[in-house]
Structure 1
């Protein structure tokens, strides 16, 4: 359920904006204005002065995502990477320590390893699926624990509630991009901050880049507002509008993503060409029980390991309906080879991705067409 006891899809359509009194626009208008008229010296009309600081279209998006995550505050940014950078910059100082999962998104690892390390921030890589390992890694200097669940790209699962109980003074941040708030709401499980790349499932149509941070922490919200205006990583009004439009159909899209992913995962799991299917909806997945506890369904992402890198590459280049491209969460199905595409920056590190692994973002096409495409790609692998 979303805020005010509304159902999720009701909140996705209505939370954050009501038809305005002037014209009754059903959708939040695109306020394509850099600046706003003031009623007097520093007397702001409606609280807006300059769109780098705040914009009504962006505010509507922030309120919508906060409502869907059952959170108090939302802050929108120009990308998921910008949102990540700002949160890390607010919560960490030289000499601080953070904990990162050993299967995190390559871009997040790159930011921490190549940028924050130069700033004097230390990090420890652990298997966040092991709560005892996380607890053992927490020190007096640990200010932040960064979780992805499911992870990108191996779809590992971490127990948010259990980790929240061992985090001590550290802030627990959950990147909820893969699940979306339709399937998982980490604040209710003890997380302090939830982050989304809205480029993915929230936008849902591969036509807009953005990020949103949600929290109940008033101080953190104040800091994010300061950084929005002071640093300028804010979302544009048009991008916010596109994202809000995508969110209206999030529930129905996610149901179709999940249905299709379950069918594709089952087909791959039955193939002799496949070494291992990484999908939390399979009972064989080591995180299946935790995922079933903290998620409403298992998502639209399927990763698969083949018997060789050549087989993985062949599968990637043999699909015809499923497009070879980076990113995920759109209505169309996408496939990629993380070791040479999205996760190149993790090569040679503790987060290095197996070269036999393929990541598939399952779209909302007809199930029969997706299964036919997977079958013919598997046939190409068998012919090697």
Structure 2
């Protein structure tokens, strides 16, 4: 993104990599960046920092396709490929290799099907001659004539790959002898789910290939030398590293200094910190409050700290509900106390503890005066929490439900 402003030209790189010989385009035009920046260089560059810690240059799609070609040539059974459903170029590579090696393509995954359909309609994807969507049926062919392209590169529990592994897919399953190619980068936070999936596939008897041990995925983010190329093309006076954790921003800022940006002109911004460009300087404005907006079902932003705290307690400790019906005039018990445990203890195993808890409830009722419903509820809640902490070292949510008649 190149923006002309009254105080100079601003360049925002977005996510980028520099591939001198891409499969289906002319590659990154660095001269365009140089010409836009002009002889003096741009006033400000905001540049992607994601892969600053990776030395050298990123793998190219041509190298990825060569690796996939070798897998197609070597695999004796079915090939199962999982990738980002938005990576149209990688999907097209698989289609082309399937055509070359005489394999029929079967896809599974709603997002994958939608993206392929849109790419085909726009003329940027060419379907192979033999193509099926598993939703409409799977052809009865020998294993060495099939390649499955499925969603689930990040171990998502409802994705096609997860359901194929765990037995929840209606049309497909992972089988012994399959070669599974996980053609994507493991996003931080998903490692546990992906590792579990890989273990299950090996348990079934499949062979699994993934990025850390095979050249089957090329990042969409440039590595250190590509980031250097961008800095040298734009030659900014001011530099703001973006898209990365704070450590990435710091290291990208150091690279900018190596490329000629003055140290004082490297500006590390965090969420909510505005930057104003002036004619001959810049100013950091007062921080704007920013926070996460939680979306829960149809509610947007209506789940606050108190609700989250309660849910964590419910998830960790469970809940005990005490149901009582009392006479409003005399305070005598008409029904109960009935103890209902959810996520707290197995009631048959701890039935004696719940009986002891009922005795504590009765003690609280005897000590309370008629009409003091609020005080009775609080007394039951406090008494039972103390009891459960002492006996079981657990602290469930205690909900007294008392009705007066």
TM-score (norm 2): 0.28
When normalised by structure 1's length, the TM-score is 0.29
Q: Which structure has the bigger radius of gyration?
A: 2
